[in-house]
Amino acid sequence: MSLPPEKASELKQIIHNHLIKMNIHGKIRDVLAETVREDLDPGRSSLSEEDILRALQRRGIVDDVMKDLHFSKEVPDTELGLQNIPKPATHFIDTDPTKLKKSKNNCYRGRLNEQSSCSIIKFPHYCSVSNDCISVLPANVDPARRYLYLQVLGGKAFLEHLQEPEPLPGQVCSTFTLYLHFRNQRFRSKPVPCACEPDLQEGFLLEIHREGLGDGSKMADATTMLSICDPVHLVLIKRDTSSETTLVSSYFLDWRTVLSSPSGKTSIAVELHGVGSECKVAAGVLNMSLELYPPPSEILSPDIITTQRSLERQKTAEKERLFLVYAKQWWREFLEIRQENQSKLVKIFAQDENGVNRPVCSYVRVLRAGRLLESPRQAARFVSLLGLEKAPVVGGGGGGKQEQWCSLLAFLCRNKGDCEDHATLLCSLLLGFGLDAYVCVGTKPKGLAHTWVMTRGTDSTITFWESLTAHRYLHQAVDPDAPPLAPQPRPSYPYRTVGCVFNHKAFLANCQPSDAVELCAFDFHNQSQWKVMSEEAVGSVCSPGSTTSLPPLPPLCGPSLEPSAASNQLELEMRYLVVEHRKDLGLATVWDDHLSYVLSSALAAYELERCTGTSCGNEEFQDAVRRAVPDGHTFKGFPIHFLHRNARRAFATCLRSPFCDEIVCCRGDRVRLAVRVRVFAYPESACAVWVMFACKYRSVL
């Protein structure tokens, strides 16, 4: 079997690196000098190649080399039909919690992403000893690439949990989970009980790769790593006993201090801060260890790293200063157009979870979901499944709202956020599907501030997308100059005013006489209707890589649960709750398994309608029910939709409906009950849960 030229070159490089690691050249020189002294006959003037090879074999040098070269048995790509598909040069998504094995010395071994390319040669574990603790890296790492091994060695000073009791074995308690994102790689820790000193002991192996085209498989040297300003984004999430999540901290770690360490390893203490109104308050401290593998041959001076950071900050600050000057001048010009513009909701900057003011355009990026989402409407359904929660306000009894536009990673890890988070995520996904999408900032009835998404078709049709519900509305402008008796379109959307629209490249403010949505025309080329910001000015601070202050865009993670198993488990729990509830009422329960199965088609049709907006399958369901219910019997059904999988919480909600209570507590002749649960899995652990209760009984005149 012959290797392609690029694979042969890669294999040669790997073997060459390993021979250098073994100092094979020095051993050959020693053997050669010894052979010349001892074995060379007086009548011979030189040694042949065979003499040198015999000397190397006699001293075990060749055996030592072959013993350390272990070739892993891999399935050829041609057997899988993948001979023409290049392997990825980096990790993509870690869909499951980081699988770690605890060693005897209380350290943990991180897991490489399952979607990363396999290494060709297996090397022994790379170990380093410090502070009586051995850090062990995975064996199957690619020796031709550079890795950053980040260890979390525990937390301290989480004073909010100072009085937290020690959880008993098997007791349900609040937990901390740490999420990481670095250069298209995502990981998460196992949950640990919340405490003042949480036992966060994890290891993560992050690949450091070059950005240039064709450089993905080349090892990054010290100079290249110094130019990589992408931070490690750390997000700490608290999950309470009712599975509600809270964003504790969002921190951007500059890992490049390890480049100045002679051993390629350093220890740091990271002080995490709160979010929102508590962004200036310390939340706790994480002790960490950073280690480069393999250690770089060149050690950089701390002054060089400090200078590089300073230059990056100065460059970013200058770009942000110039944009601020431009935005102020642009705003003055907008206010001079007409007096009514002062009351319009035009938002140029927004605060993130760390209290940093960022241009709103920076919250939108082109986001492609790969094969996790198949269509724009499915993307809208996915976004609507993420929970809605407004940022809490300390002492906010007056109904005030704390502004907090979350970075994408914090929003996805928490699995809930405000309408702005939903709208920016949906806009990013629609842009990824090739649509001309914008985020709209305006109000709903009663003057409540709101954001939603708008797309413009090539035929100038305007469609509004409600990111919280996945509903779509077609916009038809009302002509205020039409005769009183002329027919006018009746708007179906729940939006009252629109002040501005934006995406990752454009920002436009509404300068029409009225900002009422039904009167607005969305012709962005008409400068008398929309005041447009310079695309170059927006791109200078909002395009990817333009400034070091922009959070990197994380990829989406696939579903972490198996829908069939989750559906079965939740259905069994629902059946148990129904039986117990009827037992308390003195009623027996008899299940009709066939009727339960028939309900599946209805639940599938409901979810399909939410995704596509098209109703289908209702005729088949009705026909199946008629066949399953005998003559003289009555059928009743009650479907309901949830965004969680807590059976008791869902059942309590169902019983609040008089229709469901009537079915669950049904009394009569030959009563048969049915329940069916369908869990539909989406990316980022989002799920749509459909539950349908039904009963049939003989009618009594």
Give the pLDDT score at 546. 86
Q: What percent of the chain has pLDDT over 70?
A: 79
**Does residue 330 share a domain with residue 294?**
no
Distance CA 447, CA 80 (A): 58
Give the pLDDT score at 582. 95
Q: What is the DSSP letter of 160?
A: G
| pLDDT band of 219, cuts 50, 70, 90 | confident
Mean pLDDT of 79-100: 37
Query: Does the pLDDT at position 85 exceed 50?
Result: no
The per-residue pLDDT for range 473-519, each reduced to its tens digit, is 999 888 776 777 677 778 889 999 999 999 999 999 999 999 999 99
Q: What is the CATH number of the domain that holds 337?
A: 3.10.620
Domain boundary, last residue among 259, 274, 300: 300
Mean pLDDT of 302-327: 95
Query: Does the pLDDT at position 179 exceed 80?
Result: yes
Domain total for the chain? 4
- For residue 555, being part of any structural domain is answered with no
**Does residue 474 share a domain with residue 441?**
yes
Mean pLDDT of 553-578: 94
Residue 59's alpha-carbon distances to 40, 47, 109, in angstroms, are 17, 17, 36
Domain boundary, last residue among 21, 45, 68: 68
Q: Which domain holds residue 582?
A: 563-698
For every residue of 539-587, DSSP letters joined together read HHHHSTTS-TTSPPPPPPPPP-S-HHHHHHHHHHHHHHHHHHHHHHTT-
The per-residue pLDDT for range 537-556, each reduced to its tens digit, is 999 999 888 888 888 899 99
Q: What is the CATH number of the domain that holds 223?
A: 2.60.40.150
Question: Which range is least confidently modeled, 45-54, 317-326, 366-375, 651-660?
Answer: 45-54
Domain boundary, last residue among 300, 333, 366: 300
| pLDDT band of 62, cuts 50, 70, 90 | low
CA dihedral for 487, 489, 494, 498, sign (positive or negative): negative
Query: What's CA 624's distance to the chain center, in Å?
Result: 41
Residue 577: CB partners within 8 Å, gap ≥ 6? 647, 648, 651
Mean pLDDT of 193-197: 93
Query: Does the pLDDT at position 99 exceed 60?
Result: no
**Does residue 236 share a domain with residue 146?**
yes
| pLDDT band of 252, cuts 50, 70, 90 | very high
- For residue 654, being part of any structural domain is answered with yes
Give the pLDDT score at 684. 93
- For residue 348, being part of any structural domain is answered with yes
Q: What percent of the chain has pLDDT over 90?
A: 61
Give the pLDDT score at 168. 72
Q: What is the pTM of this model?
A: 0.79
The per-residue pLDDT for range 386-411, each reduced to its tens digit, is 999 987 666 554 455 678 999 999 99
**Does residue 257 share a domain with residue 148?**
yes
Distance CA 386, CA 687 (A): 9
Cβ–Cβ < 8 Å for 353, 392: no
The per-residue pLDDT for range 180-193, each reduced to its tens digit, is 999 999 999 999 99
- For residue 189, being part of any structural domain is answered with yes
Query: Does the pLDDT at position 235 exceed 70?
Result: yes
Please report how the helices 24-38 and 61-68 are oriented relative to each other, as an axis angle in degrees rounded to 10. Answer: 160
Query: Does the pLDDT at position 301 exceed 60?
Result: yes
Mean pLDDT of 221-240: 93
**Does residue 443 share a domain with residue 522?**
yes
Distance CA 491, CA 609 (A): 22
CA atoms within 13 A on the CB side of 247: 34
- For residue 86, being part of any structural domain is answered with no
Mean pLDDT of 449-456: 96
Give the pLDDT score at 14. 72
The tokens describing 82, both together, are 């993948």
- For residue 135, being part of any structural domain is answered with yes
Query: Does the pLDDT at position 123 exceed 60?
Result: no
**Does residue 567 share a domain with residue 534?**
no
Query: Does the pLDDT at position 694 exceed 60?
Result: yes
**Does residue 332 share a domain with residue 262?**
no
Give the pLDDT score at 603. 95
567 or 276, which is more confident? 567
- For residue 12, being part of any structural domain is answered with yes
**Does residue 296 share a domain with residue 384?**
no
Mean pLDDT of 442-447: 91
Query: Does the pLDDT at position 101 exceed 70?
Result: no
Query: Does the pLDDT at position 637 exceed 80?
Result: yes
For every residue of 402-446, DSSP letters joined together read ------HHHHHHHTEE-HHHHHHHHHHHHHHTT-EEEEEEEE-GG
Give the pLDDT score at 67. 61
First to last CA, the chain: 83
Token pair 């939603």: residue: 452
39 or 533, which is more confident? 533
**Does residue 218 share a domain with residue 160?**
yes
Query: Does the pLDDT at position 92 exceed 50?
Result: no
Query: Does the pLDDT at position 94 exceed 80?
Result: no
Give the pLDDT score at 228. 92
**Does residue 382 share a domain with residue 491?**
yes
Give the pLDDT score at 8. 66
CB neighbours of residue 92 within 10 Å: 16
Mean pLDDT of 620-636: 92
**Does residue 462 share a domain with residue 389?**
yes
Of 589, 561, 573, 583, residue with least CA distance to 648: 573
- For residue 522, being part of any structural domain is answered with yes
Give the pLDDT score at 212. 62
Query: Does the pLDDT at position 103 exceed 80?
Result: no
Query: Does the pLDDT at position 261 exceed 50?
Result: yes
Residue 114: CB partners within 8 Å, gap ≥ 6? 94, 95
Q: Please give the backbone phi and psi of residue 280, each rounded to the nearest 5 degrees, phi first.
A: -95, 0
73 or 659, which is more confident? 659
Give the pLDDT score at 209. 81
**Does residue 381 share a domain with residue 241?**
no
Q: What is the CATH number of the domain that holds 609?
A: 3.40.33.10
